[in-house]
Structure 1
């Protein structure tokens, strides 16, 4: 005992934990996010602010935050058959995943703008989806697809009459039973094949009519799908070649007579990110389905779904940015190095402020498109959705991996450790840029929108020029962009540069109009006045780092 006491006096006690942060938990994700609170009010969903705040408090507890880690630590498991040899195609999930799904569905993240289509409905739903995606992104895939399937299924009224009431219901039922035995169901998607990927017109899956066929008619589908998202959904929107060309079908997991539909999962995909969510390779061996929309118009039909899932990619990537930024700022305000807190050191302030600018710009653009969705009967808003969602999906999703990596670097070695959330956010960060159309596909979609409907580009400039005269760098950027967009003949080879500039111009316009001066001015100075590659932490002289960081700090 005496020797131990002497050793202790010389510092042999090695496990006193000092200069380590307290975990960011037990806080209100909504109230702690000043730009989000302002956006909800600004874009028309002030009526929902109290309910969103209650939601933010419920999901910000330490116990609830742990669900995200558990759902990704315990990956989905797949059984082809039961122990008696009967085909089941059953994917088993950890209870944490089911609780996340239940929360999303009970709070209407899959349906609220359709069941309560008031002013600001899409804005309110986007805010909740943004908050819940910060907890865990993978379960958001079936939630997003179910939400996005509604406009597509609605194109076929006879099918919609049977299916939509259960799609819209706020009831989560994970059982592997026919949809007829459930109050609420989820919808997945099966578009791509090995040989085509994004080029879905190269699909070879065949649809053979049972009887007369045609819209709403019954078909049997035969083929192979390389990516089927969320194979435990109750039905899937599928593209297949009918006699009249590529068409869209609703294919249930169980047939109407209660028999298992031969929609057979071959394997679950081994993914870098989005681990909690099962994605599968699947064969359709005479699978039963109904045609949705006109024969030969499958792409035009399912694009109703794709447009909404692309918007959710904007929300999801913005959410990853926010989650990563929150971790970085919270770490730096508690961790000291070289005699000062990290958040007090100018070089770190530059980095954190820059990350905050990117995050707020992503959120601001996303919520502006959400407001456009609430007013899509207005011609300007409809055109803005068409071009703005493609621009936003491309840019925000493209910027997320770099921001997440920089946030990890702010935390240092601990940021790379698997017992924290940052590795999961980093693995998730590239996913949305690839799914629902990669960067090149989005750029080509911008070109398609401009050439087929020139009004979309006119709507873009009408939108951004609402900020004209407020910032010299912004005015020069928009003037140069207008000049470069006059001749679209070589757009494809210049696509990345042009869409980059369209994106930062649109984000700058929203920030100039609605963000504090220090945010808008710093964004324009760093993204517009300084052309060329931008790496985080290179904000120019004169930026008010402290004010920008304080605005972004999770409270």
Structure 2
């Protein structure tokens, strides 16, 4: 039996405060997600179950617990022996278990239809509730092709990484029911310039021994790490197991990072003290080997911001629909409707672009692979530049309550900048996009073909595309890389929305994002557009 909270407090009655929304269904109330997944041929039953599970009120409570009780670093036991372990709140383990069972990390590699598209949808759904646990699962997903290409590793790492059984126990791989994989590449002196890494690797029979310091180690509780170290032939990729048959590997955690957000997840500084490692790929070929993992993690960093935006806007809409001011519900006030509708365009544009790019990861031909390389860079750049502004505006809808930890808005706000930094900050991504277009003619051809496919559907789009090509037909100066990437991403998003067939949504996006019918801040759009867009983002009445 459930008892409602007491609203009569003696000194006053609690009025005009939205009630807790209770259970939600993140799959059912997202028509664009469902439509694009169905069109892409993804199996929908598993996604429907996952979205309904994540939407439950109990999962929101668990997310709050996981973020209020971050992992604890336990360096030593009571006798002073090294442990180098992280201890997590039970809520963290609940998310890990549920998402692994759903196949977040594995569905793309299990041979089913639209595996990467399905995975991308799971990233989007999970990020709406507890984004911290996405980090180790994203890296595990992205590591599979790298591990699969390594033929002489001891133990069946691929099978362990694809297992749908969560096993956080401190045991060597052979004794585990499933495994996760982290990443440790960044060093103090280099940052994104990993060629400056100084960690060294020395051969030890069939294995290697690594010595050095890593400034950022993502998910240090994982069962192993992909890392880069210098051999006599240059920077090389290695798999470093966390636990060995004979005991703990010589990986020493120096401290946990005290991060702005992503608090439920651990990030650390570590040292390798002649840690045992296994080479993956050829000596000196480390960047080319690890770039396959980076390529796939970038897909997730493009999808997660769309999930954060969706979660923030859902909270804003619930508040506006259930609270009144000046004798009217907030949601019925024209200016509030304009703000929310404008934010819906940002969120749905990023969702559509991310899913469109994810579908190309499922393609097996050279053309799909080429488009995936340029498409994921553009999607990552655009979604991460929009996300902090969308979340901040959603917070403002709630007023002071949006700034209070009783709501999820502060957590979402802290999380909003993360994916724009992880796996390549804005400048790195834009320069990568220019290099891809310059060095891979097929990638440039595929991007042009996707943009051309939408010609003739909307005059304003055609005009914007022509202007874009006239501006940069002779090449893109490095100083204009962000401008070019932003316009390319907006054009590609518009092309995807036009192809999707929702004339109102696509037309409003083109007019406000590629045309002149918008100011610089959210909500500065024509009133006629707001009415047509808002219902697309929130089809379920509050």
TM-score range, shorter chain: over 0.9
Contact 1:25 1:65 in 2 (8 A): no
2:439 pairs with one of 452, 462, 469: 452
Contact 1:311 1:393 in 2 (8 A): yes
- 1:304 aligned counterpart, secondary structure: helix
CA displacement 1:334-390 (0-9 Å, x = unmatched): 111111111111111110001111110011011101111111x22322111010001
Q: Which has the larger displacement, 78-87 or 160-169?
A: 160-169
Please report how far the alpha carbon of residue 534 of structure 1 lies from its aligned counterpart in structure 2 after TM superposition. 2.8
In structure 1, the residue matched to 2:3 is none
Q: Which has the larger displacement, 357-366 or 169-178?
A: 169-178
What is the rounded CA distance, in whole Å, between the counterparts of 2:122 and 2:539 in structure 1? 17
2:99 pairs with one of 98, 101, 104: 104
Contact 2:124 2:304 in 1 (8 A): yes
CA displacement 1:76-114 (0-9 Å, x = unmatched): 110111112111101111000011001111111011111
In structure 2, the residue matched to 1:466 is 453
Q: Which has the larger displacement, 530-539 or 404-413?
A: 530-539
Please report how far the alpha carbon of residue 178 of structure 1 lies from its aligned counterpart in structure 2 after TM superposition. 1.7
In structure 2, the residue matched to 1:177 is 171
TM-score normalised to the size of structure 1?
0.93
What is the rounded CA distance, in whole Å, between the counterparts of 1:353 and 1:554 in structure 2? 13
Please report how far the alpha carbon of residue 51 of structure 1 lies from its aligned counterpart in structure 2 after TM superposition. 2.5
In structure 2, the residue matched to 1:553 is 538
In structure 1, the residue matched to 2:348 is 360
1:341 and 2:336 equivalent?
no
- 1:237 aligned counterpart, secondary structure: strand
2:14 pairs with one of 3, 17, 25: 17
1:537 pairs with one of 509, 519, 523: 523
Contact 2:127 2:134 in 1 (8 A): yes
TM-score normalised to the size of structure 2?
0.96
In structure 1, the residue matched to 2:506 is 520
Q: Which has the larger displacement, 523-532 or 497-506?
A: 523-532
What is the rounded CA distance, in whole Å, between the counterparts of 1:317 and 1:386 in structure 2? 19
In structure 2, the residue matched to 1:95 is 90
- 2:444 aligned counterpart, secondary structure: helix
What is the rounded CA distance, in whole Å, between the counterparts of 1:349 and 1:235 in structure 2? 49
Contact 2:71 2:88 in 1 (8 A): yes
- 1:467 aligned counterpart, secondary structure: coil
Contact 1:102 1:172 in 2 (8 A): yes
Q: Which has the larger displacement, 181-190 or 526-535?
A: 526-535
What is the rounded CA distance, in whole Å, between the counterparts of 1:125 and 1:160 in structure 2? 28
What is the rounded CA distance, in whole Å, between the counterparts of 1:326 and 1:99 in structure 2? 23
1:167 and 2:164 equivalent?
no
Contact 1:444 1:495 in 2 (8 A): yes
1:434 and 2:421 equivalent?
yes
In structure 1, the residue matched to 2:79 is 84
In structure 2, the residue matched to 1:274 is 262
CA displacement 1:35-73 (0-9 Å, x = unmatched): 11111112221xx22322122222211112211111000
Contact 1:527 1:534 in 2 (8 A): no
CA displacement 1:205-228 (0-9 Å, x = unmatched): 0011123xxxxx411011000000
Please report how far the alpha carbon of residue 24 of structure 1 lies from its aligned counterpart in structure 2 after TM superposition. 2.7
1:34-433 alignment to 2 at 5 Å?
34-45=31-42, 48-115=43-110, 117-159=111-153, 162-211=156-205, 217-255=206-244, 257-375=245-363, 377-433=364-420
In structure 2, the residue matched to 1:481 is 468
Q: Which has the larger displacement, 438-447 or 160-169?
A: 160-169
In structure 1, the residue matched to 2:4 is none
What is the rounded CA distance, in whole Å, between the counterparts of 1:240 and 1:50 in structure 2? 43
Provide the aligned C-alpha RMSD in A. Answer: 1.6
Structure 1's consecutive aligned runs of 4 or more residues displaced over 6 angstroms after TM superposition are none
Q: Which runs of 5+ in 1 are unaligned?
A: 1-10, 212-216
What is the rounded CA distance, in whole Å, between the counterparts of 1:400 and 1:540 in structure 2? 22
Q: Which has the larger displacement, 425-434 or 470-479?
A: 470-479
What is the rounded CA distance, in whole Å, between the counterparts of 1:553 and 1:68 in structure 2? 23
Contact 2:74 2:84 in 1 (8 A): yes
Contact 1:153 1:160 in 2 (8 A): no
Please report how far the alpha carbon of residue 531 of structure 1 lies from its aligned counterpart in structure 2 after TM superposition. 8.5
Aligned length: 533
Please report how far the alpha carbon of residue 449 of structure 1 lies from its aligned counterpart in structure 2 after TM superposition. 0.3
Contact 2:518 2:525 in 1 (8 A): no
What is the rounded CA distance, in whole Å, between the counterparts of 1:191 and 1:99 in structure 2? 28
In structure 1, the residue matched to 2:30 is 33
1:495 and 2:481 equivalent?
yes
Q: Which has the larger displacement, 430-439 or 53-62?
A: 53-62
Please report how far the alpha carbon of residue 12 of structure 1 lies from its aligned counterpart in structure 2 after TM superposition. 10
- 2:255 aligned counterpart, secondary structure: strand
Contact 1:208 1:220 in 2 (8 A): yes
CA displacement 1:249-308 (0-9 Å, x = unmatched): 0000123x3221111000000000101000000001101101101111111100110111
Contact 2:95 2:133 in 1 (8 A): yes
